[in-house]
Amino acid sequence: MRIGCPTEIKNHEYRVGLTPASVHELARRGHQVLVQSGAGQGIGLPDEQYAAAGATLLPDAASVFAEAEMIVKVKEPQPEECARLRPGQILYTYLHLAPDPALTAALVASGAICIAYETITAPGGGLPLLAPMSEVAGRMAIQAGAAHLEKSKGGMGVLLGGVPGVAPAQVCIIGAGVVGSHALQMAVGLGARVTVLDKNVDRLRQLDLVWGNRIVTQYSSAQALEEAVLAADLVIGGVLVPGAAAPKLVTRAMVARMKRGAVLVDVAIDQGGCFETSRPTTHAEPTFLVDGVVHYCVANMPGAVARTSTFALNNATIGHALALADKGWRRALAEDPHLKAGLNVAAGQLTYKAVADALGYRYVTADQVLGDSASGS
C-alpha cells in the first residue's frame, strides 16, 4: 500500500503522523511510505532520517494526498486537506466529529474511509489511541493552569503549591479517567490541595487507595460539583463520552460566581468542551476571560510538547496502521472489532452512532458498510 504522511497545518501543530521508526516498520513490510518534506522538522526529525528509514520524500501536501492510498495524520483534516481526499482513500487520524458539523459534512462529501483514533477500543476496555494524548493533556493541564494563575497572565496571582505559612491553591478535577488521573498526579506533586469528582465510585475508590488523605474524592452530584468549582482556584475539565459531545457540566451561572482570576482548563474542548463558556483557542492565543475567570481551551494541547506527544502517539497507532496497510481496510476491520469501532465515516455514510445522533445523520453500522463492500454494491 502507498501510505502518505503530510505536514500538519493546524495552528502551532508540530506533531507528525509517522516517526522514522514507524516508517521503517511499514517499509520493511513492503509498503511505500510517502512523507512530505519537512513534516518532522519542527520536532527534530529531519528529512534525512525519514529517507534512511525508507520513506519517499515528496515536496508538498498535494503530492502526498494525490499519490497515497492511506493518509496518516495527527489532527483532524483542515478544509484544504478535506478537499484533497477522494472516494475510497483511507484517512487514519484524530477526528472528533461530534462538535464539528462542517468537518463531518466535508468528510461525508469526500467519500473517504475515515478511521478515528479516539474511538478505537481495546480488548480490556478503554481507548488506547486516545490514552497517550490524554496522559499528555492531563499533565499539561496542570502546567498550563499553574502558569495562568500568575498575575501577568490574567490569574489571581497564586502559586499552585503555596509556600510555608501560605496555603496552596485549591484544584478541582472533573473526571477521574486518564486525563484526570494524570492531572491529579501533577497537581499533588506540586503541592496543591486537590478534589477529584466522578460518577464512577469504583474509580474514586482506586484513586483513594493510591493517594489516601492527600486528595479528596467526591461523587459528582450537581451540588458537590458546584461547591468544588466555586471553591477552586484551578478547575480541570477532563470528562469524556467516547465519540460524543462532552456534557456541559459547569454552567455560565457557575462561572459568574467563581473567584475572579481563577483558571479553567477545558481538556474536553476537542469534543466541544465541558464548560458552557468554553470555545476553542490556539497555542498562539490560548486564553480568554469570562466574568473575570481565565479560560484555557486549546484544542491541541499535546501539540505544545510535540516531540514527546509524537513518539507516544506512534507507539499506540502503528499497530493498526500496519493492519490497515497489510490487509486493506475491509479485511482489517472485519477481523478486528476494536479497529472497526474506529470507523466514523465510510463512502459518504456516518458509521459511528454518537456522531450520527449528535449531528442528525442517518446511522449506518460498520457491518452494513463492510457487507456492502463485500457484495460489491
Spatial separation of the C-alpha atoms in residues 346 and 28, rounded to whole Å: 29
Q: Which stretches of the chain are DSSP H helices?
A: 20-27, 47-53, 61-67, 79-82, 101-110, 131-148, 178-189, 201-211, 222-231, 252-256, 306-327, 329-335, 337-340, 353-359, 366-375
Q: Could you tell me which residues come within 8 angstroms of residue 101 by beta carbon, excluding any fewer than 6 positions away?
A: 359
Q: Which residues contact 372 (CB under 8 A, 6 or more apart)?
A: none
* Distance from C-alpha of 355 to C-alpha of 76, rounded to nearest angstrom: 15
Q: Indicate the SS3 state at residue 295.
A: strand
Measured in degrees and rounded to the nearest 5, phi and psi for residue 152 equal: -65, -15
Strands annotated E in 151-280: 170-174, 193-198, 215-219, 234-237, 263-266
Please give the Cα distance from 131 to 118 (Å, whole number). 9
Residue from 64, 68, 54 nearest 7 by CA: 64
* Residue numbers annotated as active site: 96, 270
Other beta carbons within 10 angstroms of residue 266's beta carbon come to: 31
- The 10 Å Cβ neighbour count of residue 276 is 14
Query: What end-to-end distance do the CA atoms of the chain give, in Å?
Result: 23
